[in-house]
Structure 1
Amino acid sequence: MTDFTKTRALFDIPEGMVYLNGNSLGPMPKAAPDAMARFLNDEWRTELIRGWNTKGWFMQTNTLGDRIGSLIGAAEGSVVVSDTLSIKVFQAVGAGLSLVPDRKVVLSDTGNFPTDLYMVQGLTKLKDDGYELRTVAPEAVLDAITDEVAVVTLTEVDYRTSRKHDMARIIEKAHEVGAVVVWDLAHSAGAIPVDVTGTDVDFAVGCTYKFLNAGPGAPAFIYVAPRLIEQVEPVLSGWYGHEAPFAFDTDYRPMPGKIDRMRIGTPSIASFALLEAALDVWEQVDLQDLRARSIELMTLFIDQVEARCDGVTLVGPRDMNERGSHVSFKFEHGYPCMQALIDRNVIGDFRAPDMMRFGITPLFIDEADILKAVDTLEDILKTESYKEDRFQVRSAVT
């Protein structure tokens, strides 16, 4: 049984703050400063270029990938870490298209994170051969998977509403018609149990700065099903994925039969130090316990807000099994209201046009935090303090 009192103690959250934004950027693990200091003082400073061998830097893309793989049900040797999530989306969709060369349609949904759609739009323009990005409502995805579709690319948990796609059903339908599926697990990894092996996932990508708590700009990961890895053509071919990286051949040959072929360029070893510290927390977490606790806290939050806070409306499913681990409420004055909450040390975020979003992250959030957040929201709504001029000013990041 996971002891969430112990996991809470592993994070450095400012005194008095209720941090309900771990779905966007996780808090700093207390071990992070020492991890970075060790990298600076005991690795880079002393080893310099030797660190690629003596400190194992060269294979950290894979060793850290395996640690993330254990959180998403991936087999050893099927996940690598590096680059950004946007790059990994481009890479996975491009690889998927190469597996179905006689089709031109990439299917997604209108609730997908916009960057994922932007990357596909850019990819189809580069191919310049009649490729089409087709988007439908999230609820219509299953019916839209036809034998025209080459790749289905979806974010499992909607970044705004928290609605969760039925991964198994979508994969089954896609495979029935010969399509490939790419899953974005940005709001899944570290939030809900994922089983990429059991559900027969083709490709999955995700970030490590949200629920995995590895810091702003932390590296992304990509999973490729072992049954596909020998066929996959890397769309972005860099030296780090070459069969013989230090032969310095002028022609690219992907690493045969290994996830290494999905590596691209030199990774950020400094960011790996922080990621390693963040992943250490997960050594003592059972994902089923995490999910059960998340549902308890989401239920408490929704019930309390709906009982006490007039004017706000729940977004997304009421069935907790159909949602991820964040909760959003619509409110006409959502942006200034969120600024008023932040001013009082209850940290969530805002998503246009009118959604206040709150991450429910059991590693460091408990019932007391939930009740304090609701108390604060109730008071802000009753006093209408969100109408103050200072809360109307839009920041660059919302």
Structure 2
Amino acid sequence: MSQPSPAAPAGPDEAVARDLADRAAVLDAADPLAPLRKRFELDDGPDAEVYLDGNSLGALPRAVLPRLTDTVTREWGALRIRSWEESGWWTAPERIGDRIAPLVGAAPGQVVVGDSTSVNVFKALVAAVRLASEDRTEILVDAATFPTDGYIAESAARLTGRTLRAVPAERIGAEAGPRTAVALANHADYRTGRLHDLRGTTAALHAAGALAVWDLCHSAGALPVRLDADGVDLAVGCTYKYLNGGPGAPAYLYVRREHQPRFDSPLPGWNSHADPFGMAPSYTPAEGAPRGRVGTPEILSLLALDAALDVWDGVAVADVRAKSLALTDFFLECVAALVPGGRAEPVTPVEHAERGSQVSLRCPDARAVMRELAVRGVVGDHRPPDLLRFGFTPLYTRFTDAWRAARVLAGILEGTR
């Protein structure tokens, strides 16, 4: 049974707003992913908060709390150290990695979960340089990358004796040459939501004899990623955005199977040793994905993530992508129809092939506007100096949420003209 259309505020645009509200209700009623919202701790009431910040922190899946309660009270509280074996704690990084693998287009045995995204970027980038020949003296990095990726790329260049060159993401493939060892690129730009050409860039890097490392933080879980099919060498990603693993949830590292025998981690640890309990003074790396491990696994956060991944049971990433594009199309339409002209201009591409799962709007006083949006029940975020960011998580975001966000934004900006 469809939900009643949300009430549209009175005003000169009431007819337009009402039409959009009615369409939102129809789209929600027909949405095949709509039942998934009940898997999250979200309010469905008429005055429920509109949460459009899942590209920063995903909502809490309902399965997490019972799992953590059992982990703490039974596995830790009763079984104690026996849980490393009896509860499967020891193999959690690879086991949960294999659950993430289908979401990034990887076969089992190539993804390991643990550490932060930043640490995994460092491991992947330095290891990629070590995989390259010594005459490859250059590292390329996306010029608009998330700052930490840039910081780590600079540090990796210093540590490995390479030079670092920043180029626009769309130019990385063309700029790669005989000196390029590896390029680090973001699949989706965190500011604008622009989706970059993972397949084409990877192919161009390989044609130049270089390796490709991709940061999937703003794409995995929102759209199809095909690491195996597209030939990606190494990749990293966080799990607290579209994978809903919780604040500070451990990140993951993908190492293509053909590279695993030569994957030389700059952070060898006892957990990635071939015989971790042998306590040998010399290091012998484990086989396969466990080479990406370092120290003791973060069990509580790992198992919270494991439970969070239950929401993906029976869900096709292609359906998630279809809804993502429909949601962002509808939001852009609502913004164009309702927001005063010139007050909030989209910087996110209109073309589907170039759009991730967020919409960014250039707006003067973005910080103050976003603060007022939150006061009025719409949660997004901003990036200096003038970007409003709205993340659309298809597993739980509704078309009605998109309409309400645009309408509230219009009301704020109408009052500041």
Normalised to the residue count of structure 2, the TM-score between the two structures is 0.89
Q: For structure 1, which runs of at least 5 residues remain unmatched after alignment? A: 386-398
User: Could you tell me which of 148, 157, 163 is aligned with 1:115?
Assistant: 148
Quote the residue 1:306 is aligned against. 336
Quote the residue 1:6 is aligned against. 35
Quote the residue 1:389 is aligned against. none
Q: Secondary structure at the match of 1:222?
A: strand
The answer as to whether partners of 1:191 and 1:291 remain within 8 angstroms in 2 is yes
- 2:250 aligned partner, one-letter code: P
- 2:171 aligned partner, one-letter code: A
Shift of 1:17: 0.5
Q: Secondary structure at the match of 1:37?
A: helix
- 1:112 aligned partner, one-letter code: T
Distance (Å, rounded) in 1 between the aligned partners of 2:99 and 2:32? 21
Q: Secondary structure at the match of 2:145?
A: coil
Q: Secondary structure at the match of 2:382?
A: strand
Distance (Å, rounded) in 1 between the aligned partners of 2:278 and 2:336? 63
Q: Secondary structure at the match of 1:358?
A: strand
Mapping of residues 268-347 of structure 1, within 5 Å: 268-310=298-340, 311-347=343-379
Distance (Å, rounded) in 2 between the aligned partners of 1:20 and 1:220? 22
Q: Secondary structure at the match of 1:356?
A: strand
Q: Secondary structure at the match of 1:69?
A: helix
Distance (Å, rounded) in 2 between the aligned partners of 1:162 and 1:108? 18
Per-residue Cα deviation, 1:138-186 (whole angstroms, up to 9, x for no partner):
2322221111110111010000111111111111111111101000000
Shift of 1:205: 0.5
User: Could you tell me which of 81, 89, 104 is aligned with 2:137?
Assistant: 104
The answer as to whether partners of 1:314 and 1:329 remain within 8 angstroms in 2 is yes
Mapping of residues 183-198 of structure 1, within 5 Å: 183-198=214-229
Mapping of residues 1-398 of structure 1, within 5 Å: 3-14=32-43, 16-100=48-132, 101-127=134-160, 129=161, 131-256=162-287, 258-310=288-340, 311-384=343-416
Distance (Å, rounded) in 2 between the aligned partners of 1:148 and 1:303? 46
The answer as to whether partners of 2:373 and 2:408 remain within 8 angstroms in 1 is yes
Per-residue Cα deviation, 1:41-73 (whole angstroms, up to 9, x for no partner):
110001111110110100000000000001111
The answer as to whether partners of 2:188 and 2:356 remain within 8 angstroms in 1 is yes
The answer as to whether partners of 1:23 and 1:360 remain within 8 angstroms in 2 is yes
Distance (Å, rounded) in 2 between the aligned partners of 1:316 and 1:111? 14
- 1:173 aligned partner, one-letter code: A
Distance (Å, rounded) in 1 between the aligned partners of 2:230 and 2:169? 19
Q: Secondary structure at the match of 1:223?
A: strand
Distance (Å, rounded) in 2 between the aligned partners of 1:347 and 1:139? 31
Normalised to the residue count of structure 1, the TM-score between the two structures is 0.94
Q: Secondary structure at the match of 1:183?
A: strand
- 1:329 aligned partner, one-letter code: L
Distance (Å, rounded) in 1 between the aligned partners of 2:104 and 2:389? 24
Distance (Å, rounded) in 2 between the aligned partners of 1:140 and 1:261? 32
Q: For structure 2, which runs of at least 5 residues remain unmatched after alignment? A: 1-29
Q: Secondary structure at the match of 1:48?
A: helix
The answer as to whether partners of 1:91 and 1:235 remain within 8 angstroms in 2 is yes
The answer as to whether partners of 2:114 and 2:298 remain within 8 angstroms in 1 is yes
Shift of 1:213: 0.3
In structure 2, relative to structure 1, the CA distance for the partners of 1:346 and 1:367 (3 Å cut) is: same
Shift of 1:2: 8.3
Q: Secondary structure at the match of 1:230?
A: helix
Distance (Å, rounded) in 2 between the aligned partners of 1:140 and 1:86? 24
Shift of 1:337: 0.4
Shift of 1:126: 2.8
> What RMSD over aligned residues (CA atoms) do the two structures have, in Å?
1.4
The answer as to whether partners of 1:215 and 1:274 remain within 8 angstroms in 2 is yes
Aligned residues: 382
The answer as to whether partners of 1:2 and 1:284 remain within 8 angstroms in 2 is no
Shift of 1:125: 2.6
The answer as to whether partners of 2:271 and 2:293 remain within 8 angstroms in 1 is yes
- 1:115 aligned partner, one-letter code: T
Q: Secondary structure at the match of 1:204?
A: strand
